[in-house]
A and B are shown apart, each in its own frame.
Chain A
Amino acid sequence: MFATSVITADAGGAASRLGTMVLGLAVFAAVFVGILLLASLFKGRRGEKIQAAAFVGPTIFFIAIALIYPAILTIRRAFYSGKFFDLNFGTPRTRGKFVGFDNFAALWTTPGLPEVFRNTAFWVILVPLFATGVGLLYAILIDRARGEAVAKALIFLPMAISMVGATLIWKFVYFYNGDPGSSQVGLLNAVITKLGMDPVDFIGNAPGNTFSLIAIMIWIQAGFAMTVLSAAIKAIPDEIIEAAKLDGVKSLQMFRFVTLPSIRPSVIVVLTTIAIGTLKAFDIVQASSGGKFGDSILANEFYNRSFVTQQPGLGAAIAIVIFLLVSPIIVFNVIQLRKDA
């Protein structure tokens, strides 16, 4: 997502920069080891506190400069106009002015943006549910079946493909040729026309195209869900299963009252991980159409407004909305994990 390229044509300059970087890392390591050695000299209760601070301190420091400070800058940026991220950058004419909540109001008034919220809602609801559902069903079906390893590998393979690669593959599957009578190159449309139906423009027409793209994400994420859930199922103690069998439960009851409660923490982790991943999913929309056919989502629009249309204030506002949407999922996740711990 970082659009700033730091390619240097100057080979000599690159070499000296590399040297500086290595030196910087060495100094950093030395300072770090030094602090830890110093901390280890302290003994007793006070010593423990100092040692704890020596371990946590650097982490807090780096989170502060790499996460919290930029986050504050972004929140501030969302309340200003202007063409550039840095409010003090550029000529006086183009410097950002304080505009209050204008950028947030623009989220609703800019043509095309309200649809982005609708599409994002579809993504965040459908992808975790279907990916987890498919993964769970698959994990249960193949559990202790013959050829389990091969079956698992098959559904896990899409995880190994980059999202851009997966999107390109699916573009061929979805490919549409609207010329009547001509042959269909796309797999799905070839099948559809063979069955005597008219070809469908899967990725061209809103709002249907959103679901075509969501299918790609489910295809990728189902493997992740299957792997985690399959491991969780295998971790269920055999005694519990045997006891349930002795009590005479049927397979559906076994799933409802034994398997599902046992793997509940894993299901929550999978659901929330995929939900957060979906909110950030930018690659699929970008690689399919760039969100130009009414199928854009928040993460893609954040990039588009920040870098393409030069509205960093609006981009920052979208980033904040993404953060606000992700927060409840994280809170839910943390609460659930506390319960289980």
Chain B
Amino acid sequence: MALNSKRKAAAFVGIAAMSLVTAACGSGSDSGDGSDGTAADTKDYSKWCDLKSELTGKSVSIYTSIVTPEDASHKASYKAFEDCTGVTIKYEGDKDFEKNLPQRAQSGNLPDVAFIPQPGLLQTMVDTGKAIPATETVGKEVDQYFGESWRKYGSVDGTLYAAPLGANVKSYVWYSPKAFADKGYKVPTTWDELMTLTAKIAADDPAAKPWCAGFGSGTATGWPGTDWVEDVLLRTAGADTYDQWVAHKIPFNDAKVADALSKVGAILKDAKYTNGGFGAPSTIASTTFQDGGQPILKGKCYMHRQASFYASNWPEGTKVAEDGDVWAFYLPSVDTSTKPVLGGGEFVTTFRDAPEVKAFAAFLASPDWANAKAKATTGGGWVSANKGLDPNNLVSPIDQQSAKILADPAAVFRFDGSDMMPSAVGAGTFWSEMTNWIKGQDDKTTLDNIEKSWPTN
């Protein structure tokens, strides 16, 4: 027993030190600053097929958060490039992509290409010194097919690093066209109409609630709440104020943000209006975002604000169309004169300075790829902001509507703000405080706590 116990004591020492070891396990690479040049490569990569003699036999590795089953259409869409250049594309999907990519940069294990879904993470990866600025070819493609605002989201300190890949529209309210038709409700076109409709539904149908929502998303719990605030702020305060808020040029707890949050609270925190199918408003916190809109199908709830990608969460056999079981209307602005759109997307970031990588990046930014991807996505649920994308190549009606909204010259597109803020806020307190808020914490404490957590350096 004595010897065994001593051995155990030694094991305890080891176990206790584990926590310290793990904290330091990310270190170890001291490979310096990496690339220092910010000048773009001026070589023309736009005719990648002509570069076959140079590229054939090479390979390009992709690392992304897009996993099965969505990865199949991605792999299929690269075929044209692989066939005409002889390059092999190696695809690796990882659900913990956002956490692992910075670690891989520090351990010297970066992929050639990463699809980064957040401008904030792009900034971090540029800060590693390992990201390579976009080529002139990609720059021209971004200007021609995506426009200025997307260029900004793919840039760090004025240098373009990454072209957009896919996109999604977040300013959607899902509803049942049949339920609306039965009750004689019309799709609202202004915020006031939306609130009037909300009150009317609450009065008409005591067995259901006008809204349902779910903030639950594992470690990312709270993000649907951040989308609500961003979407409303974009409408009540305008795009310029929104940009200042995201960049922390105005404090997080500015009066305009407080106003937007109280407007969100007027819907989400009112026990008469939420949470259809789940109970009191506080249940929004623990309801998963995937479950959040499902009560619409059971007639327990009328409206659910969620992005275009929610289309894939409806059960098999649900018809997603204007005359189907569910459909989505554009979350109305304050009045019809403005049309702000909140959305997201991925950015193609490169980490290896090689012609095959650059040619592939040029291919992904082109309309050739966008249309190939649209055709390969037979189940729907994908859209791009690429203006060269022909909406007719998209399969599902909701994707077509999203593509039209993204291409609409009147629409003012803004990227999801929490994705652009420092991770301590965007993946930290903004999520957790919105969760606390829906569980009953007041507006002021919520905004003050987030403001307090904004990193000073």
Q: Which residues of A contact B33 (CB under 8 A)?
A: 91
Q: Which residues of B contact A93 (CB under 8 A)?
A: 127
Q: Does B336 contact A (CB under 8 A)?
A: no
Q: Which residues of B contact A70 (CB under 8 A)?
A: 20-21, 23-25, 27
Q: Which residues of A contact B218 (CB under 8 A)?
A: 289-290
Q: Which residues of B contact A312 (CB under 8 A)?
A: 23, 26
A3→B103 contact, CB < 8 A: yes
Q: Which of A83, A302, A329, A340 has the most CB of B within 10 A?
A: A83
Q: Does A197 contact B (CB under 8 A)?
A: no
Q: Does B198 contact A (CB under 8 A)?
A: no
State which of B28, B94, B109, B219 has its C-beta within 8 Å of the C-beta of A290.
B219
State which of A86, A177, A316, A327 has its C-beta within 8 Å of the C-beta of B106.
A86
Q: Which residues of A contact B9 (CB under 8 A)?
A: 330, 333-334, 337
Q: Which residues of B contact A94 (CB under 8 A)?
A: 127
Q: Which residues of A contact B22 (CB under 8 A)?
A: 1-2, 319
Cα distance A311–B124 when bound, in Å?
12
Q: Does A239 contact B (CB under 8 A)?
A: no
Cα distance A91–B18 when bound, in Å?
30
A67→B26 contact, CB < 8 A: no
Give chain A's interface residue range (CB within 8 Å of chain B): 35 or more
Q: Does B193 contact A (CB under 8 A)?
A: no
A293→B439 contact, CB < 8 A: yes
Q: Which residues of B contact A176 (CB under 8 A)?
A: 283, 286
State which of B8, B90, B435 has its C-beta within 8 Å of the C-beta of A269.
B8
Cα distance A177–B286 when bound, in Å?
10
B127→A299 contact, CB < 8 A: no
State which of A71, A201, A203, A286 has its C-beta within 8 Å of the C-beta of B17.
A71
Of A47-55, A107-115, A136-144, the one contacting chain B is A107-115
Q: Does A128 contact B (CB under 8 A)?
A: no
Minimum CB–CB distance from B98 to chain A (whole Å) comes to: 8
Which DSSP category, helix, strand, loop or mixed, fits chain B's interface? helix
Q: Which residues of A contact B23 (CB under 8 A)?
A: 70, 74, 77, 85, 302, 306, 312, 315-316, 319
B100→A3 contact, CB < 8 A: yes
Closest to B215 in A: A292
Q: Which of A66, A84, A89, A179 has the most CB of B within 10 A?
A: A89
B102→A310 contact, CB < 8 A: yes
B279→A178 contact, CB < 8 A: yes
Of B345-353, B359-367, B395-403, B421-429, the one contacting chain A is B421-429
Q: Does A326 contact B (CB under 8 A)?
A: yes
Minimum CB–CB distance from B276 to chain A (whole Å) comes to: 8
State which of A1, A177, A178, A292 has its C-beta within 8 Å of the C-beta of B221.
A292
Q: Does B391 contact A (CB under 8 A)?
A: no
Within 8 A of A (CB), among B392-431: 422-424, 427-429, 431
Per-residue contact bits, chain A 308-341, to B (CB 8 Å; 1 contact, 0 not) = 1111100110011011001101100110010011
A111→B452 contact, CB < 8 A: yes
A203→B423 contact, CB < 8 A: no
30 pairs, CB–CB < 8 Å, chain A vs chain B: A9-B90, A67-B20, A67-B21, A70-B20, A70-B23, A70-B24, A73-B24, A74-B21, A74-B23, A77-B24, A83-B102, A84-B26, A84-B106, A85-B24, A86-B28, A90-B127, A94-B127, A111-B452, A180-B279, A204-B285, A204-B286, A205-B282, A276-B12, A289-B286, A290-B221, A293-B286, A293-B435, A320-B20, A330-B13, A334-B9
